[in-house]
Amino acid sequence: MDKKYFSELLNKYLKHEASEEECELLIKHYNLFESEPDIFDNMPQNQKTEIRNEIENKIWDEIFDDEISPREVTSSNHRMRINFISFAAILLIILSAGFYFFKNEPVKQTNVISRQTNVKENRLIQLPDGSTVILRPGAKLNYPSSFDGLALREVYLDGQAYFDIKHNSLKQFIIHTGKLKTIVLGTAFEINAWSDNPSIQVTVSRGKVRVEDQNNRTIGIITPNQQITYDKTSKNVIQKVVNAPEYLEWKEQDLLLSDVTVAEAAKLLESRYKVEIIISDDIVRSKRFTTIVRKGETLDQILKSMSEFNEAVYRYDVDKAVITLESK
pLDDT digits (tens, 9 = 90+) for 190-231: 999 998 899 999 999 999 999 999 888 999 999 999 999 999
Separation between Cα atoms, residue 306 and residue 123, nearest integer Å = 17
pTM for the full model? 0.59
**Sequence-distant (≥ 6) Cβ neighbours of residue 53 within 8 angstroms:** 216
β-pairing, 122-126 vs 132-135, is antiparallel
Instruction: Specify the CATH number of the domain 112-249.
Output: 2.60.120.1440
Q: Does the structural domain 254-327 have CATH classification 3.40.50.261?
A: no
pLDDT by residue for the chain (328 residues), tens only, comes to 455 666 676 667 656 677 767 766 655 554 444 444 454 555 555 555 555 555 544 444 444 444 334 434 444 444 444 445 445 544 444 444 333 333 333 334 457 788 877 777 899 888 999 899 999 999 999 999 999 888 899 999 999 999 999 988 889 999 999 889 999 977 899 999 998 899 999 999 999 999 999 888 999 999 999 999 999 999 999 999 999 989 888 888 888 888 888 988 888 888 788 899 999 888 899 999 888 888 888 889 999 989 988 889 999 998 888 999 998 8
Separation between Cα atoms, residue 305 and residue 191, nearest integer Å = 31
**Nearest one of 199, 145, 144, 198 to 174, comparing CA atoms:** 144
**Nearest one of 155, 251, 141 to 203, comparing CA atoms:** 251
**Nearest one of 282, 283, 279 to 270, comparing CA atoms:** 279
Q: Where in the chain is the domain with CATH 3.55.50.30?
A: 254-327
- Does residue 86 sit in helix, strand or coil? helix
Q: Where in the chain is the domain with CATH 2.60.120.1440?
A: 112-249
* Category of 148 on φ-ψ map: left (φ > 0), alpha (ψ -120 to 50) or beta: beta
Q: Which H/E stretch holds residue 67?
A: helix 45-68
- Does residue 267 sit in helix, strand or coil? helix
Single-letter code of the amino acid located at 72: E
